[in-house]
């Protein structure tokens, strides 16, 4: 059975990363040299503003940033360099620094650091929202060698929250099903997605979500890949599926528009930041090979 023990280290790049990140909970006894500081105020990342780019602060000590820290968490080592997640007390910022939503900084930060920022913000938010036990109301304590909050009174453990969600590219011959969510900008379409409910398998979730959102039935469900998505704490599980039957019947509370599109006539779609973009790219490349 898998555990949350920090002694388990992954010696390989994470999703979308070029260099190795080793996840750890307990910081090393002796640390010399600078570290990466992923500092957040209300889930907005502290960045240094340059002429053409944004930078994550790289300092030996967080005190050098001139900000007020509520809490800090050691994340591990990225390419051998320590990484920390920090919860900031207020929005008072030194000159040359700003607070940015993570979505705003994609493409302006180094891509590996963007991925680590997504990890960091989830740890900060988890710590911020689990200061008290949800069962008895007692003040919780942070475990030293495990990413967990424990209640000293009733023993309840809380680990960082993950919300599994499916995302699926549905094919019908040479067409892909794309939809525009009610909260998407006008003209922006993507593949369908939804959260897994308690008691259902991931495959059952794929079938249910597609049926609920657009009214069609799918089958031949195949796993494609996954992506952590820190908005706020999703784990996106990607699939492909084949259309089996039914006419499009949209749930207006979820979907504003939907349709079948050929690879050479796609609407505006998500970029490579998301697994949605990768799924659509897969469909396009597959269609080209079939020509």
pLDDT at 272: 75
Measuring CA to CA, which residue among 170, 207, 205 is closest to residue 190? Answer: 170
- Residue in the block written with tokens 């390419």: 79
Q: What is the pTM for the complete model shown? A: 0.86
pLDDT under 70: residue ranges of the chain: 1-16
| Residue 191 and residue 168 in contact, taking contact as beta carbons nearer than 8 Å | yes
pLDDT at 119: 96
| Residue 209 and residue 282 in contact, taking contact as beta carbons nearer than 8 Å | no
pLDDT digits (tens, 9 = 90+) for 160-185: 999 999 999 999 999 999 999 988 88
Domains annotated for the chain, with CATH where assigned, are: 21-129 (3.90.79.10), 134-160 (no CATH), 163-290 (3.90.79.10)
pLDDT at 7: 35
pLDDT digits (tens, 9 = 90+) for 102-144: 988 988 888 899 999 999 999 999 999 999 999 999 999 999 8
CA-CA-CA-CA torsion sign (206, 207, 210, 216)? positive
């Amino acid at each position: 059975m898998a555990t949350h023990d920090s002694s388990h280290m992954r010696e390989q790049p994470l999703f979308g990363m070029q260099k190795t990140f080793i996840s750890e909970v307990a910081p090393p006894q002796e640390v010399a040299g600078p570290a990466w500081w992923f500092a957040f105020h209300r889930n907005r990342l502290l960045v240094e503003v340059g002429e053409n780019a944004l930078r994550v602060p790289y300092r030996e000590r967080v005190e050098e940033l001139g900000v007020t820290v509520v809490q800090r968490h050691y994340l591990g080592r990225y390419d051998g360099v320590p990484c920390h997640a920090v919860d900031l007390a207020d929005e008072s910022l030194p000159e040359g620094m700003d607070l940015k939503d993570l979505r705003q900084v994609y493409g302006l930060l180094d891509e590996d650091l963007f991925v680590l920022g997504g990890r960091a913000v989830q740890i900060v938010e988890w710590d911020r929202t689990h200061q008290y036990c949800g069962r008895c109301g007692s003040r919780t304590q942070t475990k030293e060698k495990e990413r967990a909050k424990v209640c000293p009174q009733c023993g309840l453990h809380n680990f960082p929250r993950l919300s599994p969600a499916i995302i699926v590219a549905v094919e019908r011959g040479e067409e892909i099903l794309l939809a525009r969510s009610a909260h998407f900008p006008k003209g922006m379409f993507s593949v369908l997605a939804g959260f897994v409910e308690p008691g259902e398998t991931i495959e059952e979730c794929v079938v249910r979500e597609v049926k609920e959102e657009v009214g069609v039935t799918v089958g031949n469900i195949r796993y494609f890949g996954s992506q952590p998505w820190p908005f706020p704490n999703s784990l996106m599980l990607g699939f492909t599926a084949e259309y089996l039957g039914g006419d499009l019947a949209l749930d207006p509370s979820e979907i504003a528009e939907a349709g079948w599109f050929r690879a050479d006539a796609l609407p505006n779609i998500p970029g490579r930041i998301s697994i949605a973009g990768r799924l659509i790219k897969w469909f396009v490349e597959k269609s080209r090979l079939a020509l």
